[in-house]
Structure 1
Amino acid sequence: MGPDVVGPVRGPSNSFPLGSGRSDDHATAEFGPTPVSQLLDDATARTSEGRRWQRSYRRQVLAVDSIVVIAAVVLAQIGRFDLFGTESSGYVSWERATALSVGLALTWLVALGVLQSRDISLVGIGSEEYRRVVSATAWVFGLAAVTSLILQTQLSRGYLMIALPIGLVGLLAGRHAIRRNLAKKRLRGEFVTRVLILGKPEQAAVLCTSLDRSKEVGYSVAGVCIPDYDGAVGQQLITSSGALPILGDENSVEVALRLTGADALAVTAVEQLGHEKMRKLAWRLDSLGVDIIVVPGMTDIAGPRLKLRPIDNLPLFHIARPNHGGPSMYGKRAFDLIFGTAALAVLLPAMVITALAIKCDDGGPVFFRQDRVGQHGKLFRILKFRSMSVDAEIRKGAEQSKGGNAGVFFKSASDSRVTRVGRLIRATSVDELPQLFNVLGGSMSIVGPRPLVPGEGESVEDFVARRALVKPGITGLWQVSGRSDVSEEERIRLDHSYVDNWSCVQDLVIVWRTARAVLNRDGAY
């Protein structure tokens, strides 16, 4: 079901005097109890506040970078040239070592700026910010090593080996701490970037949903302009994240930006506007100091798959095919074997205690075995700790009827078949640990879509076929996004997103987020 357009909007917070928006004369009118002059003053105040927090954030990041880099080179200099420096091991004078440290520190800070690691647009996109920090650090130390070799400056390898890990870990930890603090403030509605959307109602609704799911990114939608809009003044666009005021058509953008105090314009209607209008729109926004965000027609495509390849000054996005084979899959299998073996060795005592608890609880079997759908549609036998009564399969139909569940997946927080021990091991995800044997056997992976029961999900078009392109996993993208509390639609979307955008780095992030979710017991039952 698409978004609804209703109206009118009333009240001082979202009353905007715009119809088709073909003239700035609208800005002098009044609508409702609040004069437009006051709305403009409020919008100016919001814009000034937005720019202040951005400047403050940049200064904070620069300060943290400077402290970390200076600390890294000072510790490296003391550790290498003072504590371990001798004539026989390539002694360097204090003055020469200090000059080298100052040069390295300045080059490091400049590189972090040149690679735009402090770009405000990266706020909320942690992986890209961290990648740029790592890239800048790698370039600096590579350049330092090459320069030392060519100029014979006797820059100690021990010095670099101390400065590199300390500085890199410190930079990443500092950025993470700043981002966590900013995310907490954004969840409270502070330090947000106000966005005006220009697009059709359906496209605007999709963008609103995505921004609402990622509140820590800090985008707050102030309103929407609809191309060729000719509706009544003051109507609302109803989306899953709430009602938005409709502020006119594509000609209303400048007035709407001033009235809302928006810092950015998100355009989801590029095909409706055309190249010429988009170019003129970009020029107008540049004069207003407003950023422009262009939303492509494709959704759930990760950044590494998108490559910008301009042809004759026409920007073209090349979308790489999903990575479902080749050498990278050998890396994934190696990670499964190493991590699975280590996890099994560490968790074996907990698994033994769990097995004894299950046996003592009701005397039934310790393990639960069931056929599941694996990679390429092949069936395999999954192994879990039994968390339900022995007759759980017989009572499944009655439990579904009692719960009134008619969805694609069935899982209930009040399932009467779950045993006393079962509730505990489900809440802590201990019931999943025997699947490590499936991982070592090759039928599952540490990270991937959850394995489906045969016949499950077949009502959703392309769902089972797409998931079968990769191995099912013990944990996955939807589990770290809310576990059992995730809606069916969101679970399907996240599974598709993982299959289409899998990478080794993403797997490591999911494993880390899984540990946090388990410790917090988020959405487990």
Structure 2
Amino acid sequence: MSEQVQPTRHRPVAGVGTTQRTTEPAARRTAQRATSPTVGSWEPAYRYGVIAADILCTVLVVVLAGFVLSARHASVGPLSLLGLEAVTIAVIVGSLFLGRVWNPMVLGQGAEEFRRLGRGLLASVVVLGLGALAAELPGARLWVFVVGPAVALVAFPARYLLRRPLHRARGEGRCLLPVLAAGNIDTVADLIGRTRRAPHLGWRVDAVCTVDGRAEIGLELDGVPVVGRFGDLGEQVRRGGYRVVAVTADAYWTPRRLQQLAWDLEGTGTEMVVAPALMDFAGPRLHVTGVLGMPLLRVSEPKFTGFRRVVKTAVDKVGALLLVALLSPVLLAVAVAIMIDTRGPVLYRQRRVGKDGVPFTILKFRTMVTDAEALRAKLLAVNEGAGVLFKMRRDPRVTAVGRFLRRYSIDELPQLFNVLTGPMSLVGPRPPLPEESAKYGPDMRRRLLVKPGLTGLWQVSGRSDLSWEESVRLDLRYVEEWSLALDALILWKTIRAVFGGQGAY
């Protein structure tokens, strides 16, 4: 694995936009990388671990379900039960394999890993269901619709638990894929910044190639050495042991040159990734198709209706109802604590802007003194919030009980009633204040295309610690990339964010 690039002092190079490094030459670092241990040796171990975990979860659930079935249906003999279990395991494992659930490129990053796992398990349920229609075995149909969801309930958390040590290692600079970036200075700098902000995704740009003599060896871009020109890519890959060649936008990259680069990389074990100019479109909206021998990147319109939205609405209603029932003792205890702590109403009502700009009244547990709004004008000079937000880490208006409620987001729980009544969803963008939405430009108003959420990407990515621009970017990303798998991932991560208290004040 190549060494982690450490921040160093730089001096500008006139007219280039790159800087000169004061440490060892880039060529020496590249040579050291070539003689380092096998790059990516952790990858097969992690992949085999995921495969083993999925198979183990499947076997355990199927065996347990078989035990329950044999207890309820005495007519099911041992041989019949053994055959049913073997077929079920084979169908589930086969569906996961055919669904490319274990593709190394999706393991350990993003919602796509969980989306494929869900599709693979759903396909196995369909196949087993069709088989159950023709089976005479008692309880076969019940078996199908219990085993599939039960495997999902075990396999999804297992995948997440496997991710945790991987992401921790990546945050420490280990288990990263060394990347050679090739593009113009601006797009490569953007790629470097994105990989540094999200190391858990597993990329680290270790070297850069640019188009001409402006990028002589010995220079660097944002702390990353420039090792050559586009024409040197094949040689650099063979010498440097890079795992990924990331091609970013540049006028040099014609279809013919991209094709030649792909040929040059054959047999190197290095993956070629082409970043389109549409840097902020991703997820289910992007589709690559071939027409007349040409690869075309289709960007579909974001869908806010249809079957998936029906499922999301059903999950919102059922989930909110179950949470209210389970948390009713907590809700009652918090209400009593607020009444004992300070005088005033238990609930705080505030106008917010919902889907399509329609205002609604949001509910929260009161965490401030009753005249908090009047005191706000006196505190504007010490506002620590980003953009149009008003935030203070040590807001004097917050009560003693309120400080605890805010740290663990307990004050947000009454919004479950907003979800039940319709204006909010369990997952979505942050619900803005009317004065915030009044200042929105056309791009920010896209946040209002969907219902605001009790939690969202902003909640699991730092909450109040985020800059205004980052909060907007995350909300827009959610609107553009929404999927049921992304919602499930956000809900799962919310639990960790809440109990950790990150960014809450």
Structure 1 pair 466/128, CA: closer, same or farther in 2 (3 Å)? closer
Structure 1 pair 223/379, CA: closer, same or farther in 2 (3 Å)? same
Partner of 2:56: 67
Distance 1:440 1:467 in 2: 21
Structure 1 pair 137/337, CA: closer, same or farther in 2 (3 Å)? closer
Q: Deviations over 1:249-290 (max 9, x none)?
A: 211223433454311101112654110000000011113221
Superposition map of 1:241-390 within 5 A: 243-269=223-249, 272-326=252-306, 328-390=308-370
Superposition map of 1:37-48 within 5 A: 39-46=30-37, 48=38
- Give the alignment's TM-score, normalised by structure 1: 0.83
Any unmatched runs of 5+ in structure 2? 1-14
Distance 2:308 2:273 in 1: 33
Contact 1:16 1:259 in 2 (8 A): no
Partner of 2:42: 53
- The aligned amino acid for 1:321 is E
Distance 1:349 1:72 in 2: 33
* Deviation (angstroms), 1:314: 1.2
* Deviation (angstroms), 1:198: 0.9
Structure 1 pair 435/58, CA: closer, same or farther in 2 (3 Å)? closer
- From 23, 26, 33, the counterpart of 1:16: 26
- The aligned amino acid for 1:177 is L
Q: Deviations over 1:123-157 (max 9, x none)?
A: 22353233333433444454455457669899944
- The aligned amino acid for 1:58 is R
Distance 2:430 2:423 in 1: 12
3-state DSSP class of the match of 1:394?
helix
Contact 1:408 1:457 in 2 (8 A): no
Superposition map of 1:461-476 within 5 A: 461-476=441-456
3-state DSSP class of the match of 1:511?
helix
Distance 1:256 1:393 in 2: 61
- The aligned amino acid for 1:378 is V
Partner of 1:486: 466
- The aligned amino acid for 1:282 is A
Structure 1 pair 260/222, CA: closer, same or farther in 2 (3 Å)? farther
Percent identity of paired positions between Structure 1 and Structure 2: 35
Any unmatched runs of 5+ in structure 1? 18-33
Structure 1 pair 334/248, CA: closer, same or farther in 2 (3 Å)? same
Q: Which moved more, 1:3-12 or 1:287-296?
A: 3-12
Partner of 1:118: 102
Q: Which moved more, 1:465-474 or 1:131-140?
A: 131-140
Superposition map of 1:175-214 within 5 A: 175-214=159-198
Partner of 1:411: 391
Q: Deviations over 1:58-85 (max 9, x none)?
A: 332333344344445544555545x556
Contact 1:77 1:97 in 2 (8 A): yes
Distance 1:341 1:159 in 2: 28
Contact 2:192 2:205 in 1 (8 A): yes
3-state DSSP class of the match of 1:121?
coil
RMSD: 3.1
Give the greater-gyration-radius structure (CA): 1
3-state DSSP class of the match of 1:287?
coil
Structure 1 pair 159/278, CA: closer, same or farther in 2 (3 Å)? same
Distance 1:150 1:390 in 2: 67
* Deviation (angstroms), 1:335: 3.2
Contact 2:177 2:202 in 1 (8 A): yes
3-state DSSP class of the match of 1:363?
coil
- The aligned amino acid for 1:43 is A
Contact 1:305 1:501 in 2 (8 A): yes
Alignment pair present for 1:215 and 2:199: yes
Alignment pair present for 1:516 and 2:505: no
Partner of 2:17: 5
Alignment pair present for 1:133 and 2:117: yes
- The aligned amino acid for 2:46 is Y
Contact 2:460 2:497 in 1 (8 A): yes
Distance 2:359 2:58 in 1: 53
Distance 1:345 1:357 in 2: 20
- The aligned amino acid for 2:481 is N
* Deviation (angstroms), 1:450: 1.9
3-state DSSP class of the match of 2:228?
coil
3-state DSSP class of the match of 2:449?
coil
- The aligned amino acid for 2:205 is V
Distance 1:288 1:278 in 2: 16
Contact 1:444 1:472 in 2 (8 A): yes
* Deviation (angstroms), 1:312: 1.5
Structure 1 pair 418/169, CA: closer, same or farther in 2 (3 Å)? closer
Structure 1 pair 475/227, CA: closer, same or farther in 2 (3 Å)? same
Distance 1:411 1:42 in 2: 46
Distance 2:413 2:132 in 1: 50
Contact 1:222 1:260 in 2 (8 A): no
Contact 2:114 2:156 in 1 (8 A): yes
Distance 2:47 2:113 in 1: 13
3-state DSSP class of the match of 1:266?
strand
Structure 1 pair 280/152, CA: closer, same or farther in 2 (3 Å)? farther
* Deviation (angstroms), 1:443: 2.9
Contact 2:73 2:139 in 1 (8 A): no
Distance 2:275 2:414 in 1: 43
Contact 2:111 2:486 in 1 (8 A): no
* Deviation (angstroms), 1:343: 2.7
Distance 1:73 1:314 in 2: 46
Distance 1:100 1:443 in 2: 46
Q: How many residues align?
A: 491
Partner of 1:421: 401
Distance 1:384 1:519 in 2: 19
